[in-house]
């Protein structure tokens, strides 16, 4: 693993997505059911029980919020990060780090939803009859998961391109292109900072997804403007050696 400390340093606060698809890191508190009479240890819950355990995980699946709200939050995240960094690279690293936990959590949601949508009554059906495991084992299915479902979940559309490095020296490099990343919509990068890509945040999300699937990778965002798409961004995924070795083994074994 390239980032052993990152998992461990994650706080349990915020968006604690616990799903059936992945074993939860934290068992459900015993207090959540019918524990009204005694004063339970652990967290207090409101009497109307509007907690994450009582509300359906898909409740917000198709929910929408204002794009401006996202822009303002993201903008403030960039501003806050800017005050604590030494330069552009450092800023991108920090944005990447902020996206990373989001990727891990989204992955859980994504699996949960792809499972429950393929077997219509996921709750009642037994685990053996549920749909086949959807965690990608090989690089290509992982990339398709990112390019398609992940992008749709985040941005309501697929990414624009998916490519493999043509250089024989870098078979571990893949590129995902977004012609017009949401995160760059309102950003006008000054000339002296033209290297900066705030999409580093999205690169961090991708990295979180890869890591969460067991694919150690480094992901970075690069501005590649074209005439038609001034904020076109390429996400470069570089998989680690262990991943590439495993690929070879799985290929020989015929795993897809």
Partner 1 sequence: MAVYSFYIFDRHAECVYKRRWLPRPASIAGKSRPTSDTPTVANGLATMPSTRTTDDDAKLIFGTVFSLRNMVRKLGGEDDNFVTYRTSQYRLHYYETPTNIKFVMLTDTKSPSMRVALQQIYINLYVEYVVKNPLSPAEHPGGLGVDNELFEQSLEQFVTRVLS
Partner 2 sequence: MSSSTKVSRIGEELWKTKIDKVNAELVTLTYGTIVAQLCQDYDGNYHDVNKQLEKMGYNIGMRLIEDFLAKSNAGRCANFRETADMISKVGFKIFLNVTPTVTNWTSDNNQFSLIFDENPLADFVELPDDGRAQDELWFSNILCGVLRGSLEMVQMQIEAHFVSDVLRGDDTTEMRVSLVRYIEDEMPPEDD
| Interface positions with partner 2 (CB under 8 A) | 9-17, 29, 42-48, 50-52, 59-61, 63-70, 72-77, 79-80, 84, 98-99, 101-102, 105-106, 109, 153-156, 182
Q: How far is the CB of 256 from partner 2 (least distance, A)?
A: 30
Which of 216-253 are b and which e, b meaning 16 or more Cβ less than 10 Å from the residue's Cβ? bbbbbbebeeeeeeebbbbbbbebbeebeebbeeeeee
Tell the burial category of 64 from Cβ atoms under 10 Å away from its Cβ (0-12, 13-18, 19+): exposed
Name the nearest CA neighbour of 143 among 248, 2, 247, 31. Answer: 247
The reply to whether 141 sits near partner 1 by the rule CB under 8 A is: no
- Name the residue among 234, 235, 224 with its Cα closest to residue 194: 224
Q: Which does 157 bind (CB under 5 to 8 A by kind): partner 2, partner 1, none?
A: none
Q: Give which of 27, 203, 192, 211 is closest to 108, Cα–Cα.
A: 211
Segment contacting partner 1 (CB under 8 A): 109-117, 123-131, 157-165, 179-187? Answer: 179-187
Q: Is the CB of residue 188 less than 8 Å from the CB of residue 231? A: no
- Nearer of residues 1 and 186 to partner 2, judged by Cβ: 186
In the complex, minimum distance from the CB of residue 228 to partner 2, in angstroms, rounded to a whole number: 21
Pick from 1, 72, 119, 125: which binds partner 1 (CB under 8 A)?
72
Sign, Cα dihedral of 53, 56, 62, 66: negative
- How many chain residues touch partner 1 (CB under 8 A)? 17
Rounded Cα distance, 100 and 64, in Å = 23
For the segment 151-170, give every residue that binds partner 1 (CB under 8 A).
none
Q: How far is the CB of 108 from partner 2 (least distance, A)?
A: 10
Residue 75 makes contact with partner 1 by CB under 8 A: yes
Q: How far is the CB of 111 from partner 2 (least distance, A)?
A: 15
Q: Using CB distances below 5 to 8 A depending on partner kind, what does residue 187 bind out of partner 2, partner 1, none?
A: partner 1
Phi, psi at residue 236, to the nearest 5°?
A: -100, 120
From 10-18, 144-152, 159-167, 188-196, span contacting partner 1 (CB under 8 A): 188-196
Under the binding rule (CB under 8 A), the answer on residue 85 touching partner 1 is: no
Token duo for residue 227: 């005439």
Going across the sheet that includes 233-239, the strands are 161-164, 173-178, 233-239, 217-223
Judged by CB under 8 A, does residue 90 bind partner 1? no
Task: Mark the segment that binds partner 1 (CB under 8 A) among 52-60, 128-136, 182-190, 218-226.
Answer: 182-190
């Amino acid at each position: 693993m390239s980032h052993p400390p990152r998992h461990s340093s994650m706080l349990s606060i915020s968006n604690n997505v616990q799903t059936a698809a992945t074993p939860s890191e934290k068992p459900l508190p015993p207090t959540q059911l019918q524990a009204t009479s005694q004063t339970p240890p652990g967290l207090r819950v409101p009497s109307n029980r509007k907690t994450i355990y009582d509300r359906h995980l898909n409740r917000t699946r198709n929910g929408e919020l204002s794009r401006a709200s996202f822009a303002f939050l993201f903008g403030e995240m960039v501003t806050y990060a800017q005050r604590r960094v030494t330069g552009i690279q450092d800023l991108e690293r920090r944005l990447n780090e902020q996206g990373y936990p989001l990727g891990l959590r989204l992955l859980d949601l994504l699996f949960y939803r792809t499972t429950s949508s393929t077997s219509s009554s996921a709750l009642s059906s037994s685990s053996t009859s549920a749909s086949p495991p959807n965690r990608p084992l090989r690089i290509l299915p992982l990339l398709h998961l990112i390019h398609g479902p992940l992008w749709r979940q985040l941005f309501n559309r697929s990414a624009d391109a998916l490519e493999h490095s043509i250089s024989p020296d870098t078979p571990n490099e893949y590129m995902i292109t977004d012609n017009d990343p949401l995160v760059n919509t309102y950003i006008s990068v000054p000339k002296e900072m033209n290297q900066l890509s705030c999409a580093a945040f999205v690169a961090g999300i991708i990295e979180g997804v890869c890591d969460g699937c067991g694919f150690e990778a480094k992901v970075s965002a690069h501005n590649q403007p074209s005439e038609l798409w001034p904020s076109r961004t390429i996400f470069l995924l570089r998989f680690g050696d262990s991943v590439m070795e495993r690929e070879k083994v799985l290929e020989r074994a015929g795993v897809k």
